[in-house]
Structures are given as C-alpha cells and as structure tokens.
Structure 1
Amino acid sequence: MTATTPAAAPGYRARRTLPLRVEARRQLRRRRTLVIGAILALLPFVLVAAFAIGGDPGTRSTGRISLMTTATASGANFAATALFVSAGFLLVVPVALFCGDTVASEASWSSLRYLLAAPVPRARLLLSKLTVGLASSAAAMVLLPVVALAVGTAAYGWGPLQLPTGGALAPGDAVLRLAVVTGYVFVSQLVTAALAFWLSTVTDAPLGAVGGAVGLTIVGNVLDQVTALGDWRAVLPAHWQYSWADALQPQLEWTGMLQGASVSVSYALVLTALAFRGFARKDVVS
C-alpha cells in the first residue's frame, strides 16, 4: 500500500507563517536590541568627550598621519575614526548577538517546538530568523557612522575628509566613501553572522552561540598576527577586515575589498548551508 501525504489544512500557506514583520517586531522590542542601539548611538558622544578632555589628537602626532590624528578635522573624519576604533571588535558584538541569539533563545525559552508545531516549516523559520538578524546587524552598522557624522559635524564642522595618505576629499565624495566603508564592514562581518547563526542552531544556550562566534572571531584576529603563517593568512577573514582603508585613498581601490568580501561570503555560505542542513535533521525538544 502506498503511503499518502496528509493534506494541509484549508487555507494553510507555508510562506505566510512567521511573517518577517512579526519576527522583526519581536526582535526590535527585546531589551538587548535597545541596549545595543543605545551603546552605538552613545559612542560618538563618548569620543567627543574624550577628545575634549585629552585635546586635539593632531597635536600629539609623531610624524605618522592616521585617522586618529585627523579625527577632529571634520565631521567626516570623526565618522571615519569612529568606524576605525569600532570595526575590529565592537561591531562584531551586535552581529554575533543578533544572529547567534535568534534560534537558541527560542530553544532556551522552550518555545521553539511550539513554533514548529504552528506549523512553521523549519527552513521558513530559519530564513525569517536569519533575515531579521542580518537586517538588525546592518542597521547597527549604519547607526554608528550616521550618528558619528551628525555629532562630528556639530562638534567639528562640515568639511572635507582629510586622508591619512595626504590630500582631501570633498564632503560629498567623503559621504559616498564612508558609505562604501560601512558596506564593506557589513560584508566582512557576514562570516561572523553565519558562524553565530550556525552555532545558534546546534545549541540551546544563546550565550554559547554568541560567545562562540565572538571567541572564534578573536582567534582569527590573533592568528592573523602570526606572520609565520605567511600566505595562509589570506584565507582568514580577519586578514581583510581593514581593507576598507583602501576606500580612504585619493583613488578608490577595490582589489583588497573584493578579495576580503569573497573570503567572507564564501565562509558565510558554507556555514549557513550547515545551519539549514543540520537544523532540518535536528530533533527539536526545546
């Protein structure tokens, strides 16, 4: 006798389960989202206060021109400096949190099995969670430079972006370059997002998924400092995390950013595929 697939309930549409707007509203109202947003919005004010207390960083120059020494030259320079001091670690945290907490938190609340019993298809659930997590991460990436540009302009004026290598970019061009930098920083963090998301599907502990992603990212940064690895460092996403500095040159250079983006996206695709494959076969009891 041939087995028959049970008919779906009248009106049931898998694509209508767990709408993105519902998931986005749930995540937006969570306390950790508000805390991360507040921290990123307050950081530019903290930097302005630090420069006010410590004085103009350019007066302490040792002959090397860097983003830090030109931080108070204009609002655009201040925004670039805010990205420089936060891209290595601070911006990793919201990405790991938004993508690593998403599925594991449902398991820790014992609500994951009820979502699947709704019934929400597993692939649909993961897709909704990942989409909202990435959108939240992108919003965090944009929030910092936008607030920094506004705060820096109010504090230091609207002017050209003084380049570390010499020369300057007109304010309009500077905004476009900062947009390129922000976009690249987001793309370079896709590997962290995918790693956190994969860990979120294999553990019921949100802290484990978030901490694991942040910890492995730190390990990658440490390994990139080991010069004995030679050309092997090129396969580490951390090796390319500051390639966005090529956007702050008189002539925009894409080579490093394209290489870094390809490495990050490649890792992200593999880790995301592992997440979907593993969760499809997982025995969900939480």
Structure 2
Amino acid sequence: MSYSASKTLPYKVELYRQLKRKRTAFAYAFVLSLPVLVAIAVKFGPSGNSGGPTRLGSGTTDLIGLATIGAANFTTTMLYFATPFLLVTVIALFNGDTVASEASWSTLRYLLASPVPRTRLLIQKMKVSLTLSAIAVLIMPISAWIVGTIAFGTKPLQTPLGATFTNSVALSRIAIMTGYLAISLLFVAGLAFYLSVRTDAPLGAVGVAVGISILLNILDAITALGSIREWLPVHYAFSWFDALATTIDWSVMIRGASFCFISGTILYALAINRFAHKDITS
C-alpha cells in the first residue's frame, strides 16, 4: 500500500481522540452548568426585593431584568453571561491545549515520525479544535433554551430595545447572535492555537490567551482611549446585541465579524508558519 500524506491522521480519528479526553467532557459540562445553575438559583434561591434594579428576572427593561420572562429571554441572557469569560476560557482550552499537550506528553515527535506532515498535522488539529469550539458555542443556547422552557415557559422574546418577537423570530435572532458569537471568538481561538505551538505547557498557552483577553477587555473599558478601542478584537464581543432590534443594523456586526475573522486567520497562519520551522524535541 503506497504512502499518501492526505490519509495520515484522519479528521475523524483526531476528533475521536479529543472527544475521549476528560478535559473535553469537563469543558462541555461547565457550559451546560451555567443555565442550569442560574435557573435553579432563580427558582429556588432567596427572592427578596433587595437585589436592586438589575436583579435577575426583576422585570426591569434591561437584559438581565427580562431574563425570566421565557425561554427566549433566558437564552439571550445566558449568551450575555457566557460571552466575556466562560466561552472565552473554553475556546482557549480547546485551541491552546491541542498541540502543547502532545508536546508535554512527548508524543508530538512520534506523530510526525508516523509520518504525518507538519502542515497536515497542524491543520487537522486546527479543524478539530474549531469543531469542538463550535460545539461548545452551540451547546450554550440549546441548553439554555431547554432549561428556560422547563423553568420559565415559552413566552415571546421581549428585548431591552422595546421589541417583542414570537418564538420563531426569536429563534432566528438567537441563531444570528450565536453565529456572530462563534465568529467573534476566532481571535481567542487563533491566539490560543498560536501560543500552543509556541510552548510545551498547555496550561500556559490557555492561561496566557485568557489573560490577554481579560487585559484587552479592561483596555476596552477605558473610554479615554477613544477610537483606539475599535482596534481591539474584544471591542466587538457584544455586537450581537444589535440582533435584538426590530430592524437589524448589520454594520457593526459585519465590522466586528470581519475584524475577528481576519485576526484569527492571521494568528492561525502564524501558528502554521511557526510550526513548520520549529525544532520538535518532545
């Protein structure tokens, strides 16, 4: 049987390897736990009136106050909660751990000796990491909708912008928000993947990627930076909020998605270039 580089390290094999890992199960469990824990806290926690105007489900016209109206509102609020840290951490884990973990286990050089071409190895790793990341992003709204339906029913979506949508329209808007969120996380994914190629310490790659994301969020909150903030990838993290308007203004979402897609692609390209010239010793 002749050797064919295109048949080495099949996508399904690598996907199966990563799905079997405990970190994958734990990561998905964390994503699933957010809507469950929030729903339990709201349904069975103390219901005093001392929570202030932004108390979850208080009925105020902000996103958090409207959270318990129904499944659609609950799902939207869970996306809001998950955007700045939870999904960032999970996506950084899937992308920052993928190559560095092989190096830390001293299996990377054996994979290359199989022989699996370097570029193919990295592309297969990238495809699997993005697949796992996409699954994590999808789990959030799906699980939130199911939990929200059980806990709060299926009333129409009421938005802080004054619009009310039927469940069919709400589902389409949530799909838009989820799709945008997935694209906006490409920057973090690309950054973590690049760091995974640069180091043999998986937690180091994941931690630095999350740390940089937090730092950029802090910088984005400094209004004194003015228009400089528009060049920060995290500046567009919540642009999906525009999908809650009666008429969607696509301009900011298109700009944010383009910026994150381009920056993520550049980081993935840098990772491939770095790996192609890296001296593999582990």
- Give me the TM-score of the superposition, normalised by structure 1: 0.93
Report Cα offsets for 1:179-206 as digits up to 9, x if no partner: 1111111111000000000000010000
Match of 2:5 in 1: 14
1:55 matched to 2:47? The reply is yes
How far is the alpha carbon of 1:226 from its aligned partner? 1.5
Moved over 6 A (4+): none
Match of 1:40 in 2: 31
1:223 matched to 2:202? The reply is no
Report Cα offsets for 1:217-246 as digits up to 9, x if no partner: 111101101112111110101111000000
8 Å contact from structure 1 (residues 102, 129) kept in 2? yes
Give, in whole Å, the separation in 1 of the partners of 2:60 and 2:216. 27
Please show how residues 194-205 of structure 1 align to structure 2 within 5 Å: 194-205=190-201
How far is the alpha carbon of 1:167 from its aligned partner? 2.6
How far is the alpha carbon of 1:22 from its aligned partner? 0.4
3-state secondary structure, aligned to 2:257: helix
Give, in whole Å, the separation in 1 of the partners of 2:137 and 2:215. 22
How far is the alpha carbon of 1:55 from its aligned partner? 3.5
1:179 matched to 2:175? The reply is yes
3-state secondary structure, aligned to 1:91: helix
Q: Which amino acid in 1 is paired with 2:175?
A: A
Report Cα offsets for 1:81-140 as digits up to 9, x if no partner: 111111111100110000000000000000000000000000100000000001100100
Q: Which amino acid in 1 is paired with 2:15?
A: A
8 Å contact from structure 1 (residues 56, 72) kept in 2? no
Give, in whole Å, the separation in 2 of the partners of 1:138 and 1:270. 19
Aligned Cα RMSD in Å? 1.5
8 Å contact from structure 1 (residues 192, 217) kept in 2? yes
Please show how residues 140-179 of structure 1 align to structure 2 within 5 Å: 140-179=136-175
Of 72, 75, 79 in structure 2, the residue corresponding to residue 79 of structure 1 is 75
8 Å contact from structure 2 (residues 60, 66) kept in 1? no
3-state secondary structure, aligned to 2:69: coil
Q: Which amino acid in 1 is paired with 2:192?
A: A
Q: Relative to 1, partners in 2 of residues 1:171 and 1:145: Cα closer, same or farther, differing over 3 Å? A: same
Report Cα offsets for 1:147-193 as digits up to 9, x if no partner: 11011011111121001111301100000100111111111100000
Give, in whole Å, the separation in 1 of the partners of 2:138 and 2:6. 29
Give, in whole Å, the separation in 1 of the partners of 2:158 and 2:279. 56
Consecutive unaligned residues in structure 1, runs of 5 or more: 1-9
8 Å contact from structure 2 (residues 72, 156) kept in 1? yes
Larger radius of gyration: 1
Of 225, 228, 232 in structure 2, the residue corresponding to residue 232 of structure 1 is 228
3-state secondary structure, aligned to 1:220: helix
How far is the alpha carbon of 1:60 from its aligned partner? 5.0
Give, in whole Å, the separation in 2 of the partners of 1:261 and 1:174. 21
Match of 1:6 in 2: none
Give, in whole Å, the separation in 1 of the partners of 2:33 and 2:269. 36
Q: Which amino acid in 2 is paired with 1:97?
A: L
Of 91, 100, 103 in structure 2, the residue corresponding to residue 104 of structure 1 is 100
8 Å contact from structure 2 (residues 163, 244) kept in 1? no
Match of 1:116 in 2: 112
% identity of equivalent residues: 48
Figure out how many residues of one structure are paired with residues of the other and give that number: 276
1:208 matched to 2:200? The reply is no
